[in-house]
Amino acid sequence: SQQGEEDPQALSIQEGENATMNCSYKTSINNLQWYRQNSGRGLVHLILIRSNEREKHSGRLRVTLDTSKKSSSLLITASRAADTASYFCATSSGAGSYQLTFGKGTKLSVIP
């Protein structure tokens, strides 16, 4: 069963605007990761946030984690047409477990 659920399922914005995607999960986690998938391609890792972290930045990406609400958000600032892709959150649970459970993804369209 899916651990993470992304919201919204689809998002369409103008170039230059910020895009925010949310992820909710059900059980306790070790870390939460965000991945990007361009159409027809494999997933690419974007950022990992550990359960004891609340916020992390990487370039134009900002991820927050609220373990009390079992939720995370991914913010892409100053979006570009090249950011058009599907974005997935994935959670890692259990000590010693390397497995990830993925959500169904948010499809982001950035209009030039």
Partner 1 sequence: IAGITQAPTSQILAAGRRMTLRCTQDMRHNAMYWYRQDLGLGLRLIHYSNTAGTTGKGEVPDGYSVSRANTDDFPLTLASAVPSQTSVYFCASSDSSRGEQFFGPGTRLTVL
Query: Minimum Å distance from CB 14 to partner 1?
Result: 27
Cβ proximity to partner 1: between 41 and 80 the closer is 41
Pick the piece of the chain touching partner 1 (CB under 8 A) from 20-28, 33-41, 57-65, 71-79.
Answer: 33-41
SS3 content of the chain, % helix, strand, coil (to 5): 5, 55, 45
Please select the residue that binds partner 1; options are 18, 27, 41, 82, rule is CB under 8 A.
41
Q: Quick one: how far is CA 102 from the chain centroid? A: 10
**Are 48 and 24 in contact, with CB atoms under 8 Å apart?**
no
Q: Is 31 in the site for partner 1 (CB under 8 A)?
A: yes
